Every structure is written in structure tokens, then in C-alpha cells.
Amino acid sequence: MKIIMLGAPGAGKGTQAKMISEKYGLPHVSTGDIFRANIKNGTELGKEAKKYMDAGQLVPDELTVKILLDRVAQDDCKNGYVLDGFPRTIPQAEVLDKALTELGDKVDFAINVDVPDENIINRMSGRRACVTCGATYHVVYAPTKVEGICDKCGSELILRDDDKPETVKARLEVYHKQTQPLIEYYDKKGVLKEVDGTVDMNEVFNSIVSILA
């Protein structure tokens, strides 16, 4: 079972990917994690990727797919995997499809966690992080006992720059332009499934389980 997770930043697709991974015993393959692992281990692919990253450039699609295929060729992926954070664009999806076809393989499900922009902005701008221990909270969904103070270590909480409404809006604009077209792309291939991401995360997960059943 090869699954791709789709959804806007803050839609909760990473959380769902982890839950799918745990329930079905499938590796949760995050492109960010793979890059970091290859660079840390000094692999040839990692060294190549690092050159682009050090120059402040995006890693080319072909190299990203090479690194990804290297990861999914490992034994733990033989029964499938959950892809999180890739593909982000139509060209990336095309390169991935071509590479999988050459291996006699294909994507089984592309699951889109659908959340309106307004919900995402409210959700992310309510996040708070502890400057000392890194614990995260939410002013509505996971508040602290004392407002603005970390339950774990008593330090001050902050709204990270990444979670500020203007930053979230900018990230959503990029998503709509570059990544949202993947929804139609996978729909045409007959593998797209959509779930309502505005409900409780366990309800979202139950919807995904019924799709995969």
C-alpha cells in the first residue's frame, strides 16, 4: 500500500501520516527526514543535495526523487509506505510516477486532508511554543494551565514567526499555486480520496481507515 498525503500546511497531514504508519506498520517517509539522514550519513546523494542547500537553492526534482527511491527501496518499505511532503508540484509527481512505473510500481492512494484557509490560519496562529523546552500548545485546543506559561518547565510561551497569520497566508499562497494542482492530477489517475480535516483528528483518521479498508 503506497500512500501519498496531500493537504495545505497546517492541515494535519503529517499527524495523519504518523497514525497511518503506526496502525498499518508502514514507514512514514518524510522528504525532510530523508534529506537530513543522507546529509548526516555523508552519502553520495546527500553530498549532492547539500551542495544545492548550502547555496540556498532548491534540490532539483530528479535528485529528490533519486533520494526518495533510494529510501523506498529499503526492506522496511517492501509492503508500502506513507509519503509526506512529496510530491509538492506536478513535475515532481510526473518524475515520481515515471520512476515507479519503471519499477513496475504505482501510487495506490493520494489522500487529501481538506481544510479551508480560514481554519488553518486560526489553527496555526493559536499555536504557542516554549522557548526553553520546546513543548507546544494551542490557545484553544491545548491550552496551558496558566496563560502564556509552559506547564512542563514554567518558561514563557511565544508565537513562532512560522505561525504568524501573515506567514501562514504567504505559505498558503505558495501551496495553492504549486501544490494544490496535485489534487486534480491524482483525481484524474483515479487514486484521489478526500477527507474532512476540520473535524477532530481521530475522526479524520477513522475516515482514512475506512478508505484504506
The string of pLDDT tens digits covering residues 12-51 is 999 999 999 999 999 999 888 898 899 999 999 999 999 9
Cβ contacts of 170-177, under 8 Å, gap ≥ 24 = 171/9, 172/8, 172/9, 172/117, 172/120, 172/121, 175/8, 175/9
196 located within any domain: yes
Which is catalytic among the residues 71, 88, 123, 128? 88
127 is catalytic: yes
Catalytic residue check, 88: yes
Mean pLDDT in residue range 129-137: 94
pLDDT at position 195: 98
Domain contains 62: yes
Residue in 13, 66, 71, 123 annotated catalytic: 13
39 inside domain = yes
Residue 101, domain member (yes or no): yes
Q: Which whole number is the average pLDDT over 103-129?
A: 94
List 18, 50, 160, 164, catalytic entry: 160
- For the chain, what is the largest distance between any 2 Cα atoms, rounded to a whole number of angstroms? 56
Q: What is the pLDDT of residue 199?
A: 95
Which of 57-66, 143-152, 167-176, 179-188 bottoms out in mean pLDDT, i.e. has the lowest?
A: 57-66
User: Which of the residues 127, 145, 152, 193 is marked catalytic?
Assistant: 127
Q: What is the pTM of this model?
A: 0.85
Percentage of the chain modeled with pLDDT above 70: 100
CATH number of the domain enclosing 186:
3.40.50.300
| Contact status, residue 169 vs residue 9, Cβ threshold 8 Å | no
C-alpha distances in Å from residue 14, one per residue of 30, 56, 85:
9, 25, 8
138, part of any domain: no
Q: Which residues 6+ apart lie within 8 Å of 67 measured at CB? A: 31, 34, 35, 38, 45, 46, 49, 59
Is residue 123 flagged as an active site residue? no
pLDDT digits (tens, 9 = 90+) for 65-79: 899 989 988 999 989
Domain limits at 46?
Answer: 2-115+177-212
User: Catalytic pick from 18, 50, 171, 193?
Assistant: 171
Percent pLDDT > 90 in the chain is 78
Known catalytic membership, residue 128? no
The mean pLDDT value for 128-132 works out to: 95
Looking at the domain assignment, is residue 26 inside a domain?
A: yes
* Pairing relationship of beta strands 2-6 and 81-84 according to DSSP bridges: parallel
Confidence band for 103, pLDDT divided at 50, 70 and 90: confident
Query: Is residue 75 in a domain?
Result: yes
Domains: count for the chain: 1
Task: Verify whether residue 160 is a known catalytic residue.
Answer: yes
pLDDT at 23: 96
In a domain, 44, yes or no: yes
